[in-house]
């Protein structure tokens, strides 16, 4: 995670950081919810989300995202291509 302060870049900052390491689809969708916990200054403490999109070959790609500053200060964990019941 390049900048852990949510108020500076918002959700776009998180997506940009993920896109640096992953080839994210142009359109992403949230499967259930996008959970972010932060302190009073907007510093991100935890992120949990499940995103999906389709690549250039129209193959569904999923991204299960987890981040916990107490476990790893600079890296989000992402599990790729889990099953989802989304169209």
3-state secondary structure of 70: coil
pTM equals 0.82
Q: Which residues of 38-52 are buried (b: 16+ CB within 10 A; e: fewer)?
A: beeeeebeebebbbb
Per-residue pLDDT of 7-64, as tens digits, reads 988 988 999 999 998 989 999 999 988 999 999 999 999 999 999 999 889 999 999 9
């Amino acid at each position: 995670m390049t900048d852990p302060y949510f108020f500076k870049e918002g959700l776009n900052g998180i997506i940009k950081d993920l896109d640096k390491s992953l080839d994210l689809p142009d359109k992403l969708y949230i499967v259930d919810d996008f959970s972010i916990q932060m302190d009073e200054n907007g510093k991100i403490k935890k992120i949990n989300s499940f995103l999906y999109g389709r690549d250039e070959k129209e193959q569904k790609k999923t991204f299960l995202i987890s981040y916990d500053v107490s476990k790893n200060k600079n890296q989000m964990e992402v599990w790729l291509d889990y099953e989802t019941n989304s169209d």
